[in-house]
Structure 1
Amino acid sequence: MNDLLTTREVQDLLKLDRTTVYRMLKEGRLTGVKVGQQWRFHRQEVEALLRGASPSATGRSTLVDPPHRVQPLTSAPLPLHCVQAIQDVFADLSRVGVVTTTTDGEPLTQVSNGCRFCALIQSTDAGRAACRASWRALAARSDRTPRIATCHAGLKYIHARIEVNDHPTAMLIAGQFRVDDAPLDTRRLAHNIGVAPDELEQALAEVTILDERMRAQLGVWLKKVAHTFEDIGRERAAMIGRLRAISDLAVLDRPD
């Protein structure tokens, strides 16, 4: 008895049409192998389905090729090369450091227009962990109105949540600025993160100070850039959906 069945034989055994058989293959409910350009299915697995068992219950390994399941088209929610380019321009115009992160505070992009003060902090494991903790804390805020907050190092930052199709996807964070020249305890900070205190103090003098007007403008720009990223994300999701539909049709239309 032949252990590999054609699609037609599977249709006859399961009393299904060809479209349903290929849909089961795509969804992983049925395992197929490719022999040349045609699909073949293990008789033992098909008979297990007739008995009401799951495909994995057969415990059968592939004889010809590895088990094939059609993989869905996947992609990052945002095209990061586009995000990085827009972010770079935004950072140059606003004169602050900008980064896009996940909702868990993990950076998705390189920091744009970063200052030397923050570069020193992020040069150590302790400093990077502290920055990520500050970014992560932003995700806990429920409102979408950009508000100025203080990071672990005493600098200011502001963020906007990015949602694609009503799903929280990322955060756009603009920071690395001050609102005045009040002194910071750079020696304690340097000790905690493991950098030279004098070097950190010198770098602090280079940090941008934004006046009230510029801070208000920064919030407006931030929201516009975040909305642009959302539009890009929605268009990308729609494109991926169309490609997935084309991929599904290609699977269903393959000759047996």
Structure 2
Amino acid sequence: MYTIPSEFNDFIAADCDRAAFIQNYLNRAGLEAPVLQMEGKNHIYVKFPQNQYNSMFRIKTVIAHYDRFPGSPGANDNSAAVFCLLEWAIKLARLAQPLFHNIRLIFTDGEELGAAGGVAEQGAFPLAQVFRRLGITNDDIFVFDCMGRGDVPILTQTILPPKIPASFVKEFSALEQRAATFLQTSANGRWFCLPCNYSDNASFIANGIPAVAITMLPSLEVNAATQGQQPQTWQLLHTPGDNLASLTPKSFEIFHNILNNLAALKTLC
């Protein structure tokens, strides 16, 4: 059984400098984590050794926002996902040759701004624009948000914009299928697809780059959601109730399974 480390309490403390926490955590393990400043937001890019990439296979870009809603501890939104990704990053960095993972890991700033101002206000929007400008449009992009409560991984059901090119629809559908495959193997076949609020995936989709979002819910709340009821987990978001006591350690276990299966996923370019 996963035990939530005491450092997690430091990360959700009201006075935590979360960008510094992430950088220090990774630096202690020998990983560089430079800040990518874009339009006043500080995204953090994790630099893995170059020998952990193989150009024959797709890059898998993994994204989680580290900012939180004012006045909320943000334990589930999105501290749980970020903390698991920090632990995973250290594990990936220790892979010995000839093993490789092809993971591009970015912690984003400013995701919560999109809740009020729309997708163009998200901190990830200029990041997605940079991806587009640099021609980074063939990555598999997976966004993880609110992964700390529940036992059922949820693949966000995405409504694509109208008149979108058929080539985008094809690529997006293939990406969804790859996500469904590793979710299936990560939680003993228990996963679901539900309409959810957009996360940073919206910024990439708006820039013509396929991206999927994954979250987690308790099984009872999944059943309620299919009947039109709002899950209790979502009611806690952006409130003081999104705290340590609301989390379930089993979620962390399942998320680590997801991440390990994602690292092992290899898709030819």
TM-score in terms of structure 2 length:
0.21
TM-score in terms of structure 1 length:
0.22
Higher relative contact order (CA 8 A, sep 6+): 2
Pair member with larger Rg: 1
